[in-house]
Amino acid sequence: MSVRRLHEQQPEAFAFSEDNLVWAGEQIAKYPEGRQASAILPLLWQAQKQGGGWLSEPAIRCVADMLDMPYIRALEVATFYSMFNLSPVGEHFVQLCGTTPCWLRGADDLKAVCRKIIGEQGNVTEDGKLSWLEVECLGACVNAPMVQINDDFFEDLTADTFERLLEDLRHGREVATGPQNGRQASAPEGGPTVLKGNM
Ligand code: FES
């Protein structure tokens, strides 16, 4: 696992928005008295969302204070899970699956597209639109190779369709999520191969 450090440039402070404070209170209330620390994952996740896709040190401290936890324990959680970004990300954050099924189906070609359009992992494009990271299996191997961009999956990619997708996102054009080769979900390419006759 790579070393995960806090970003060298940090904001002065972090505070949850009013809506998020209400939401956080509801999460904390789900746990019995004395077990509020159990809410750390959803609270860090919400702090990351509010922070534009990454977790700053003040945000981690803010969550620790809300849960009455030592800062070091909150830092341990934030630096352990790769779902938490410790550096700024692009408006469209690409998580590229490089695990075996995706690798066998062309993940390296997708990585080459990332390097061409975005640069190395962790780099944010000058317009702030794109960044990428290689991750482990995202559970959509049947549609390999695939990427997750923000909350959406884009599957059955080729270098060409992926490059077009990144350009569309960058320029604010509408994109379709899911398979990019026309197949329906994870059905066979070209349509059904069984149960085609009259029942
Ligand atoms: S190996 Fe890529 S989604 Fe599972």
**Cα-to-centroid distance, 156 and ligand 1 (Å):** 11
CB of 77 shorter than 6 A to ligand 1: no
**Cα-to-centroid distance, 77 and ligand 1 (Å):** 25
Q: Do 75 and 25 have their domain in common?
A: yes
Q: Do 138 and 166 have their domain in common?
A: yes
**Cα-to-centroid distance, 144 and ligand 1 (Å):** 6
| Confidence category of residue 3, pLDDT binned at 50, 70, 90 | confident
Q: Could you list the residue range(s) of the whole structural domain that residue 28 is in?
A: 18-80
Amino acid 2: pLDDT: 66
Distance CA 159, CA 109 (A): 6
Residue 48 lies in a domain: yes
**Cα-to-centroid distance, 130 and ligand 1 (Å):** 21
Encoding tokens for residue 17? 């928005």
Amino acid 192: pLDDT: 79
Amino acid 150: pLDDT: 96
pTM: 0.90
> Which atom of ligand 1 is found nearest the CA of 98?
2
CB of 146 shorter than 6 A to ligand 1: yes
**Cα-to-centroid distance, 136 and ligand 1 (Å):** 7
Amino acid 195: pLDDT: 82
Note the pLDDT tens digit of each residue in 97-140.
Answer: 999 999 999 999 999 999 999 999 999 999 999 999 999 999 99
Q: 151 pLDDT exceeds 80?
A: yes
Residue 138 lies in a domain: yes
Could you give the C-alpha distances from 188 to 15, 91, 143, 199, in angstroms and in order?
48, 33, 10, 20
Amino acid 22: pLDDT: 98
Encoding tokens for residue 161? 């369709």
Q: Do 165 and 128 have their domain in common?
A: yes
Residue 26 lies in a domain: yes
CATH at 45 = 1.10.10
Q: 188 pLDDT exceeds 90?
A: no
Q: 155 pLDDT exceeds 80?
A: yes
Comparing 1 with 175, the larger pLDDT belongs to 175
| Confidence category of residue 199, pLDDT binned at 50, 70, 90 | low
> Which atom of ligand 1 is found nearest the CA of 102?
2
Residue type, 180: Q
Note the pLDDT tens digit of each residue in 29-68.
Answer: 999 999 999 999 999 999 999 999 999 999 999 999 999 9
**Cα-to-centroid distance, 101 and ligand 1 (Å):** 6
CB of 144 shorter than 6 A to ligand 1: yes
Ligand 1 pocket mutation, candidates 94, 95, 96, 102, criterion most atoms within 8 A of CB: 102
Ligand 1 pocket mutation, candidates 104, 109, 137, 153, criterion most atoms within 8 A of CB: 137
The number of beta carbons lying within 10 Å of the beta carbon of residue 174 is 6
Q: Do 175 and 96 have their domain in common?
A: yes
Note the pLDDT tens digit of each residue in 7-33.
Answer: 999 999 999 999 999 999 999 999 999
Amino acid 196: pLDDT: 82
Distance CA 46, CA 52 (A): 10
